[in-house]
Amino acid sequence: MILEDERAAVCEYARRLTADGLVVGTSGNISVRAGDLVAVTPTGVEYTGLTPADVSVVDLDGNAVEGELKPTSELPMHLTVYTRATDPGGGLVSAVVHTHSVHATAVSTLVDEVPPIHYILASIGPTVRVAQYATYGTDELAESMLAAVAGRRGCLLANHGTVTFGETLGAAYDRAQQLEWACRLWLTARAVGSPQLLPGEEMSRVAEKLKGYGQSDR
């Protein structure tokens, strides 16, 4: 079985999507790139029982390489990230996470850009844009998403959900969680008043500071 490790990782994180409340049912999807191949969740399959053999493998043109199940309907969006998006830090984009998380989706219906309620948003970019709405699974949605992630590592999809990506699946997933948390924070604060927001200069300062975050010797 090709991409065995990548397919196993997709299964692990797909199950986490449900456990962490970032999706319901079979919504949302995950992919991991290895060279010119992509391991991606299949469409319409419950994640709780997902096995590595269930995970589809396609090439960067979307052609099936291995796996009996059809890949996610959002494959155009995943492939657009891998072939046309860039990491603002210059890293190789190796994983994409798409969620239908409740608070982030709610925010996507209210604003054109996620308000800078917390510095953690700088892990995605100087701002987090909301991509214009387009029907799910279409090239139009992929193009809208691509415009929104320019110079960033993710975005909200209007009336739909979120997309985040990174050099590793862990990094892409962490950003999805952080984005949902920040959106929940903003909605909570906004429900009782007018929250103080961070200025753009501070968000840029934090983005630079985050480049050296963590244990560099690991």
Task: Judge if pTM exceeds 0.85.
Answer: yes
Q: Give the tokens for residue 106.
A: 């709610």
Which residues, 6+ apart, have CB-to-CB distance to 176 below 8 Å?
A: 22, 97, 99, 101, 154, 162, 164
Q: Give the tokens for residue 82.
A: 């891998």
Catalytic residue of the set 4, 46, 68, 74: 74
CATH of domain 4-211: 3.40.225.10
| pLDDT given for residue 89 in this prediction | 87
| pLDDT given for residue 40 in this prediction | 98
- Please give the helix or strand (H or E) that residue 31 lies within, else none: strand 29-34
| 3-class DSSP assignment, residue 9 | helix
Nearest to 120 by CA among 201, 183, 187, 214: 183
Query: Is the CB of residue 30 less than 8 Å from the CB of residue 77?
Result: no
Give the domain ranges of the chain.
Answer: 4-211
| pLDDT given for residue 217 in this prediction | 43
Q: Give the tokens for residue 59.
A: 């090439």
| pLDDT given for residue 53 in this prediction | 96
| pLDDT given for residue 160 in this prediction | 98
Low-confidence ranges of the chain (pLDDT < 70): 212-218
Task: Let me know if 167 is a catalytic residue.
Answer: no
3-state secondary structure 189-206: HHHHCCCCCCCHHHHHHH
Backbone angles phi, psi at 183, to 5 degrees: -70, -40
